[in-house]
Amino acid sequence: MRETAADAGPAAGEEPAQAAGRRAGAASGAGHERIAAAFAAAPGRAALMPYLMAGFPTREGARAIGRAYAEQGADLVELGLPFSDPLADGPVIHEAGTRALANGTTVADALALCEELAARMPVVVMGYLNLVLARGAEAFAATLVEAGASGLIVPDLPLEESDEVLGACDAAGLALVGLVAPTSSPERLRAIVQRARGFVYAVSVVGITGERTALAAHVGPLLERVKGCSPVPVALGFGISTPEQATAAAAAGAEGVIVASRLMREAGQAEDPGAAVGALVAGFRAALR
């Protein structure tokens, strides 16, 4: 059974007015709704959701990248928490996380960035499960909501293991985004989609994050399968690295497009990460109009 938001109560230490506001928000699934609104309001053919890693290439650099995303018209933003052992990530994101940890980035730093970003667009946090469990699922979800986050993606949390985290997220009003893969059977896919909040994250490749030269042929059928049973929009991610691929993703039926490795590769190399990554995002934005 899902806990209802009304049972959750205000977070400890909050001012009463704020807490009351949150509680009202939680009861209506505030995160879920803000995400839904962003998808609905996306000006182009699909919502654009660029990724950034907290603290990469530096804390200041990450803030500049976040500002550039907002200025270039990102509809939502995915904020990665650096983790020591990111099993679902390829070399670029892995390296970004390693560098963020090396420069001392903590979850608290990421939350501060989240707050800044959330003032301008909905933030979906991407964090590995051990970071969630270290604080406890309930406390983690509450802290994220306090920092303005709307959603949470946990790449190493499959359906079978997700009860506790889903309950905590629902209680806090944070949308736990479900992931489907090209390998998901029809039954699994339906079960995942039924429990998805906010949107469904369709993994476009059989593999880890990283740039690819073209969209795989199975993407169209995968999106179709998800849309056939999903009450929430579906966004495609993993491997989308050019504006042309973004256009193709939208044409294949994606309602959102997530771009990560291509942007983080640029962020790791550029002298002015904000400007360089912003220019790339402008290209993706144009491609989705």
Partner 1 sequence: MTVEAGVAHRFGPYGGQYVPETLMPALGELEAAWVAVGEDPGFQAELALLLRDYAGRPTPLYLAERLSEAAGREVWLKREDLMHTGSHKLNNALGQALLGRRMGKERIIAETGAGQHGVATATACALLGLECVVYMGEEDTRRQRPNVERMRLLGAEVRPVTVGARTLKEAVSEAIRDWVANVADTHYVIGSAVGPAPYPAMVRDLQRVIGDEARAQLLERAGALPDRVIACVGGGSNSIGTFTAFVGDPGVRLIGVEGAGEGLDGGRHGAPLTAGGRAGILHGSLSAVMQDDEGQITDAHSISAGLDYPGSGPEHAWLRDSGRAVYCAVHDDDAVAAFRRVTVLEGIVPALETAHALHHALAPDPGSSTRDLVCLSGRGDKDLAEVLARDA
- 107 binding partner 1? (CB under 8 A): yes
Paired with 171 in beta bridges are none
**Is residue 178 a contact partner of residue 193, using CB atoms and an 8 Å limit?**
yes
Distance of closest approach, residue 3 Cβ to partner 1, in angstroms: 20
- Has 138 been annotated as catalytic? no
- Alpha-helical regions (H) of the chain: 5-8, 16-27, 30-41, 59-71, 91-102, 107-118, 129-135, 137-146, 163-172, 186-195, 219-227, 243-251, 261-269, 273-287
The 33-72 site mask, x for binding partner 1 (CB under 8 A), equals ----------------------------------------
Segment near partner 1 (CB under 8 A); pick from 13-21, 27-35, 117-125, 179-187: 179-187
- 15 binding partner 1? (CB under 8 A): no
Which residues have CB under 8 Å from 138's CB, separation 6+?
A: 168, 171, 172
Find how far residue 146's CA is from the centre of its chain: 17
The 199-228 site mask, x for binding partner 1 (CB under 8 A), equals ----x-xxxx--------------------
- Residue 223's CB is within 10 A of a number of other CB atoms, namely 23
129-158 residues near partner 1, rule: CB under 8 A: 129-135, 155-158
What value does the CA radius of gyration of the chain take, rounded to a whole number of Å? 17
Q: Which residues bind partner 1 (CB under 8 A)?
A: 83-85, 87-88, 90, 94-95, 98, 101, 106-107, 128-135, 155-161, 179-185, 188, 192, 203, 205-208
The residues that are catalytic are 78, 89
